[in-house]
Structure 1
Amino acid sequence: MSDVIEVSQLSVYYEDNEAIKDISFKAKEGQLIGVVGPNGAGKSTLMKAILGLEKYKGTISVLGKKVKEVRKQISYVPQRSQIDWDFPVLVQDVVMMGRATHIVWYKRPSSIDKEVVAACLKKVGMLDFAKRQIGELSGGQQQRVFIARALAQEANVFFLDEPFVGIDVTSEEIIIGLLRELKAENKTIFVVHHDLSKVQDYFDQLLLINKELIQFGSVDQVYTPEILQKTYKGGLALFGSNEKQMVVTPQ
């Protein structure tokens, strides 16, 4: 497997505040990667920096090139809280936005574009809602629509920021199923995630961060009480399966 993302000595500062510092890692293709850490650890900042949405120090390459050179191959699903759900737009139009990199600016969407949009909506179980206003949907349905938009882009690298927050069980099951399908297609997926009880079921690798990189590796290697203790600096954290749960106790 080749390296899809390479980050070296990445730091982000907000005025005098250090958001993330000196983070370096390499991620290979065909991996479903959870980005985990406490609130304020810099998980979203790390993702935005890689995407070129934050000013940073250090070097970043995606698919062996600068991000701006491979923008079409990168899909991003932001946190739901960052989206204006009152904006009057139809579900099918939201998903069509994912086709923007495939459509010449002076042309209308082709029949192929429309077929892709319909197929992506069908994958997330939202085809029957295509002509609904996005603001009329539940939180889980809205998230599924944005996942469909990401799928419509037909990218190779996916970044999802807290996609499972505030959604129903059905939507979560549909979304993780689609992420596993993308992994099987050799796509690389980064997911900012907060529910430690599910990381063993959801991810191949974990990137544990608390402003600095704590550990990056396979779930089996890094999902341990000692490393979680270091990541959460003694904060309480529940993890493990229902049969065997473990607790990171305060230091």
Structure 2
Amino acid sequence: MVDVLKVESLSVYYEKNPAVQDINFNVQEGNLIGIVGPNGAGKSTLIKAILGLEKSSGSVSIFGQKVNDVRKQISYVPQRNQIDWDFPVLVEDVVLMGRFTHIPWYKKASKLDREIVVESLEKVGMLEYRKRQIGELSGGQQQRVFIARALAQHADLFFLDEPFVGIDVTSEEIIINLLRELRDEGKTVFVVHHDLSKVEQYFDQLLLINKELVDFGSVHQVYQPEILAKTYKGSIQLFGANENIMVVSD
């Protein structure tokens, strides 16, 4: 079986300081994977390096090929704070952007493309907002629209950077359920995530990073106090009825 993603000796340096260093792992299809680590650990940098959006050393192969050869099969949802929400564009046009990798530059969007836009908006519960300006929506609604754009692309590998930050509970539930559906369809989904209390509920596997790869494996194997303490460079305390994890710095 060909690995969906294979990362070997991947490193990114900013002015000789490592942002991520010597990252190695491989992933097979049909997994929902959380990327977890403290602020400044290199989680977003790792995604961008994998996608070729950061200058890096090492190698990345996706479906056994170079990233540029399989762009159509990869969907990326950046952090909301990286998006210009004042840009005057309608919700349906944002989602249509997910079809651009399938539409030759000399052609207009087809009836099928428009149908896929409608279908994607329906999945995230945002069809009634299709004619709204994207900047008029709440944070959760905006995030759902960008998830719809990712769905419209019909990709096989998804990267989402902090998709649950600053959104309402309803939007979070809709998004995580859609990500599970993608996983169940054999897609592979990476999610940069910060809420440790939900990783057991949300993910099949965890990639723990603090500039270097601390551990990678099933949630059952990796979600352990000693491994989390190593990741966050602090002690770990369990609290509450569900034994949620709290990190206490040394």
Alpha carbons 1:200, 1:240 under 8 Å: kept: no
Tell me the distance in 2 between the aligned counterparts of 1:118 and 1:150. 13
Tell me the distance in 2 between the aligned counterparts of 1:6 and 1:116. 30
**Equivalent residue, structure 1, for 2:114:** 114
- Report the CA distance between 1:248 and its aligned residue: 3.8
TM-score normalised by structure 1 residue count: 0.96
Gaps of 5+ in 2: none
Q: Helix, strand or coil: the match of 1:159?
A: strand
**Equivalent residue, structure 2, for 1:24:** 24
Establish whether residue 34 from structure 1 lines up as the match of residue 46 from structure 2.
no
TM-score normalised by structure 2 residue count: 0.97
Instruction: Kindly report which structure 2 residues correspond to 1:140-219, keeping only aligned pairs within 5 A, or say none.
Output: 140-219=140-219
Alpha carbons 2:37, 2:194 under 8 Å: kept: yes
Tell me the distance in 1 between the aligned counterparts of 2:239 and 2:23. 27
Residues 138 and 239 of structure 1: CA distance in aligned 2, closer, same or farther (over 3 Å): farther
Residues 177 and 240 of structure 1: CA distance in aligned 2, closer, same or farther (over 3 Å): farther
Residues 26 and 229 of structure 1: CA distance in aligned 2, closer, same or farther (over 3 Å): same
Tell me the distance in 2 between the aligned counterparts of 1:108 and 1:88. 20
State the Cα deviation string for residues 142-181 of structure 1 (Å, max 9, x = none).
Answer: 0000000000000000000000000000000000000000
**Equivalent residue, structure 2, for 1:75:** 75
State the Cα deviation string for residues 13-48 of structure 1 (Å, max 9, x = none).
Answer: 011221010010001100000000000000000000
- Report the CA distance between 1:242 and its aligned residue: 4.5
Q: Helix, strand or coil: the match of 1:3?
A: coil
Alpha carbons 1:94, 1:146 under 8 Å: kept: yes
Residues 71 and 174 of structure 1: CA distance in aligned 2, closer, same or farther (over 3 Å): same
- Report the CA distance between 1:246 and its aligned residue: 3.8
Q: Helix, strand or coil: the match of 1:207?
A: strand
State the Cα deviation string for residues 37-82 of structure 1 (Å, max 9, x = none).
Answer: 0000000000000000000000100111000000000000000000
**Equivalent residue, structure 2, for 1:102:** 102
Worse overlay, 14-23 or 26-35: 14-23
State the Cα deviation string for residues 83-122 of structure 1 (Å, max 9, x = none).
Answer: 0000000000000000001111111111000000000000
- Report the CA distance between 1:249 and its aligned residue: 3.7
- Report the CA distance between 1:240 and its aligned residue: 8.1
State the Cα deviation string for residues 204-224 of structure 1 (Å, max 9, x = none).
Answer: 000000000000000000000
Tell me the distance in 2 between the aligned counterparts of 1:125 and 1:89. 19
Alpha carbons 1:197, 1:239 under 8 Å: kept: no
Worse overlay, 1-10 or 151-160: 1-10
Count matched residues. Answer: 250
Alpha carbons 2:197, 2:245 under 8 Å: kept: no
Instruction: Kindly report which structure 2 residues correspond to 1:3-18, keeping only aligned pairs within 5 A, or say none.
Output: 3-18=3-18
**Equivalent residue, structure 2, for 1:135:** 135
